[in-house]
Chains A and B, each alone.
Chain A
Amino acid sequence: GAVVSQHPSWVICKSGTSVKIECRSLDFQATTMFWYRQFPKQSLMLMATSNEGSKATYEQGVEKDKFLINHASLTLSTLTVTSAHPEDSSFYICSTWGGVTRDEQYFGPGTRLTVT
């Protein structure tokens, strides 16, 4: 089945620095990838939709200048959290559709970001 990987699995950074999270589809091409974040004891919230070769689409309330998304190839999307603050500490998860009939949404293992 389809596999989505993320790197790093966890990261600690200081306030004001930037952090890049990579999301890869390992055995299929993903023209579209999704980025979610999840705060403790809450559900997943869609942040943005990443489209290969074009600009990402952000959900309402998500700052596009703060959360930079690049989808330069069919197997890699990156999320950069710029000028991170403690309130950006969260669990970030990427996802894409896959499967034989492409009707299963596969999720990466997530990246735990802690901003100190």
Chain B
Amino acid sequence: DAKTTQPPSMDCAEGRAANLPCNHSTISGNEYVYWYRQIHSQGPQYIIHGLKNNETNEMASLIITEDRKSSTLILPHATLRDTAVYYCIVRPRPSNSGYALNFGKGTSLLVTP
């Protein structure tokens, strides 16, 4: 899997947009960008994934640069419950369901009142 680089921590004011960057300069053509988050003492939660087009769902938006070497996860209106560690993971789409996600250190997002 391609290596990803994320800032170790970020702060965001409640109600504002949280923009979490991720660099993946060695991404290959068949690799997707996945985002997960882990709230303290819980299992990771899937957020969103994409290949090259921007994606949006009820939780977040994913913006992938044209060269695919970086991406940004956007939480449009952060709430206190969004405080968590956010993981950006790059890997091929699981045509083989026996292939597990590998987690880096992620970004610890603190949403403040």
Residues of A within 8 A of B (CB): 4, 6, 31-32, 34, 36, 43-46, 49, 51, 91, 93, 95-97, 102-110, 112
- Can you give 18 A-B contacts (C-beta < 8 A)? A4-B43, A32-B98, A34-B100, A43-B103, A49-B100, A91-B41, A93-B44, A97-B97, A102-B94, A102-B97, A103-B32, A103-B49, A105-B36, A106-B46, A107-B43, A109-B42, A110-B42, A112-B41
Contact A108 B104, beta carbon cutoff 8 Å:
no
| B93 CB within 8 Å of chain A | yes
Number of residue pairs spanning A and B whose beta carbons lie under 8 angstroms apart = 56
Contacts of A34 in B (CB 8 A): 100
With contacts A109-B43, A112-B41 known, is A46 near B97, CB below 8 A? no
Contact B103 A44, beta carbon cutoff 8 Å:
yes
For the complex, what is the distance from the CA of A93 to the CA of B32, rounded to whole Å?
23
Interface string of B16-46 (1 = CB under 8 A from A): 0000000000000000101010100111111
Contact B105 A43, beta carbon cutoff 8 Å:
yes
Q: How many residues of B contact A (CB 8 A)?
A: 23
Residues of B within 8 A of A (CB): 32, 34, 36, 38, 41-46, 49, 87, 93-94, 97-98, 100-106
- In whole Å, how far is B51's beta carbon from the nearest beta carbon of chain A? 11
Contacts of B36 in A (CB 8 A): 105
Contact B44 A107, beta carbon cutoff 8 Å:
yes
Of chain A, the residue at the smallest CB distance from B47 is A104
Contact B46 A104, beta carbon cutoff 8 Å:
yes
Contact B46 A105, beta carbon cutoff 8 Å:
yes
For the complex, what is the distance from the CA of A112 to the CA of B106, rounded to whole Å?
21
Contact A95 B46, beta carbon cutoff 8 Å:
no
- In whole Å, how far is A93's beta carbon from the nearest beta carbon of chain B? 5
Pairs of residues from A and B, 5 with the lowest C-beta to C-beta distance, nearest first: A107-B43, A97-B97, A34-B100, A44-B103, A43-B103
For the complex, what is the distance from the CA of A78 to the CA of B41, rounded to whole Å?
20
Q: Which of B41, B104, B105, B106 contacts A110 (CB 8 A)?
A: B41
Contacts of A97 in B (CB 8 A): 94, 97
Of chain B, the residue at the smallest CB distance from A99 is B46
Contact B94 A103, beta carbon cutoff 8 Å:
yes
- In whole Å, how far is B109's beta carbon from the nearest beta carbon of chain A? 15
